[in-house]
Amino acid sequence: MTTMPVRRRRWRNTAVGLSFLLPNFIGFLILTLIPVGLLFYYAFTEWNVFGGATWTGLDNFRQMARDTTFWTALRNTLYYAAFHIPLTLGVSLGLALLLNRKLRGVAFFRTVAFFPYITSIVAVAQIWNMLFSPGYGPVNELLRWVGVDNPPGWTTSADWSMPAVILVGTWRDMGYYMLLFLAGLQTIPGQLYEAARVDGASAWQRFRAVTLPGLRPTTFFITVLLTIGSFKVFDLILVMTNGGPGQSTLVLAQYIFRKGFEENQFGYASAVSIVLFAICLVVTVVQFVVNKRRSS
């Protein structure tokens, strides 16, 4: 077997590799890849979804360059991502470390941490809006109680609506990513910790020398997922602020929905999606390269 000619072995590897992919790939190709691929065509057309699309070349992208609302949505999306990604990463890793123990009641606390993710998003939006209610909400009552004279207006103020949405986004997502981190923590061999302990490493040193490197594939996966999820944030904003007040929380995914389904400019909506896609891709590739370099 080891004497098999190189070319034949490569061919065999390809066949074996493809046979693994096939069951998933057929479904993926037809139902996801082809529709997504069509988007790259529609982005260069004027298309009202019902009829044929008219080729307009780069018109959509030229329009986008002048479209102040697009830039506002892009800026808001970056704002959301810039805070939501590190915050969620930190909180969910912290939770995972905390709850990766044999504590009494750990199952309960894990379930509690996962609760925000499974609670209906409509209920989530309603309750948080109520908590944030500027006049009567408990959040501001608490702030006043600790001595803040002029607490923020949260979702009713253009300056504070994005921080409010980021907080709720983190609160909602932390359990999800905690779960992924927990699974990742199980892949780190216990002997490594034992060895580190024998060497007299402190808890912090063990975290730096064993946990972080051991979690690298997981962290990469989570960071990519979190980045994409943050750039695509939609449901939460839709139900919490619907982009307001004014345009203060309007994000790209919502803008795409508006342009497509509300204003029937599916060609333009596709073009904006392509831009969103490109941003995600660039960030992902950078993460990919950084990850490759670190792990080698």
Partner 1 sequence: MKRSLAAVTALLLGLTGCSSGGDAEESGPVTLTLAGWSLATTPEFKTLADGFKSSHPDITVELKEYDAANYDTQMIADLAAGKAPDVYVQKNLKNFFTYQDGKQLVDVSDVAAKLGPEVGGVSAYQVDGKTWAIPYRADSWVLYYNKALFDKAGVKHPDGSWTWAEYATAAKELTTKLKAAGDKALGAYQHTWQSTDQGFALAQTAGASLESGDYSFLKPYYQTSLDLQAAGAQVSLGDATTNSLTYQAQFGKQSAAMMVMGTWYIATLLNQQAKGDADTFEWGIAPAPQLTKATTGTSATPVTFADPTGLGINPKISAKKIAAAKEFLAYAAGADAAKALAGIGVTPADNSSVADTIFSLKGAPGDDLSKFTFATHDTKPENPVSKYTAPLQNILKDLHTEVLSGTSPIDAAITKAQDRAKNEVLSK
Partner 2 sequence: MTTVLVPETATPAEVPSVTRRSSRPWRILGYAALGAAGVVVLLPFYWMVLSSLKTNNEVFTIPVRWITTDPVWSNYADIWSKSNMGAWLGNTVFLSAVVTLLQVATGSFAAYGFAKVHFPGRDVLFLAYIGTLAVPWQSYMVPQFVMMTKLQLTDSLWSIVALQAFGALGVFMMKQFYETVPDELLDAARIDGMSEYGIYRRIMLPLSVPALASLTLITAVTTWNDYMGPLIYLRSPDLWTIQIGLKSFISQYNAEYALIMTGSVLSVLPIVVVFLLGQRYFVEGIATTGLKG
Could you say whether residue 79 binds partner 2 (CB under 8 A)? no
* Contact pick of 4, 13, 82, 294 for partner 2 (by CB under 8 A): 13
Q: Count CB-CB contacts under 10 A for residue 178.
A: 26
Q: Is the alpha carbon torsion for 187, 192, 194, 200 positive or negative?
A: negative
Could you say whether residue 51 binds partner 1 (CB under 8 A)? yes
Q: Which one of partner 2, partner 1, none interacts with residue 68, CB within 5 to 8 A by kind?
A: partner 1
| Shorter beta-carbon distance to partner 1: residue 71 or 108 | 71
DSSP reduced 3-state for 54: strand
Residue numbers 52-71 binding partner 1 by CB under 8 A: 63, 66-69
Looking up tokens 């948080």, which residue turns up?
Answer: 128
Residue numbers 235-264 binding partner 1 by CB under 8 A: 243-248, 250, 258, 261-264
Could you say whether residue 275 binds partner 1 (CB under 8 A)? no
Residue numbers 230-259 binding partner 2 by CB under 8 A: 231-232, 234-235, 252-253, 256-257
| Shorter beta-carbon distance to partner 2: residue 29 or 159 | 29
CA angle 278-279-283, nearest 5°? 115
Structure tokens at 150: 């002029």
| Shorter beta-carbon distance to partner 1: residue 133 or 287 | 133
What does DSSP assign to residue 262? I
- What is the C-alpha R_g of the chain? 24
* Contact pick of 3, 68, 120, 150 for partner 2 (by CB under 8 A): 120
DSSP 138-189: HHHHHHHHTT-SS---GGGSTTTHHHHHHHHHHHHHHHHHHHHHHHHHTTS-
Residue numbers 186-225 binding partner 1 by CB under 8 A: none
Q: Count CB-CB contacts under 10 A for residue 113.
A: 21
* Contact pick of 74, 93, 165, 182 for partner 2 (by CB under 8 A): 182
Could you say whether residue 157 binds partner 1 (CB under 8 A)? yes
Q: Count CB-CB contacts under 10 A for residue 165.
A: 28
Shortest spacing between CB 48 and partner 1, in angstroms? 5
Residues in touch with partner 1 (CB under 8 A): 48-51, 63, 66-69, 126, 129-130, 132-137, 153-158, 243-248, 250, 258, 261-264
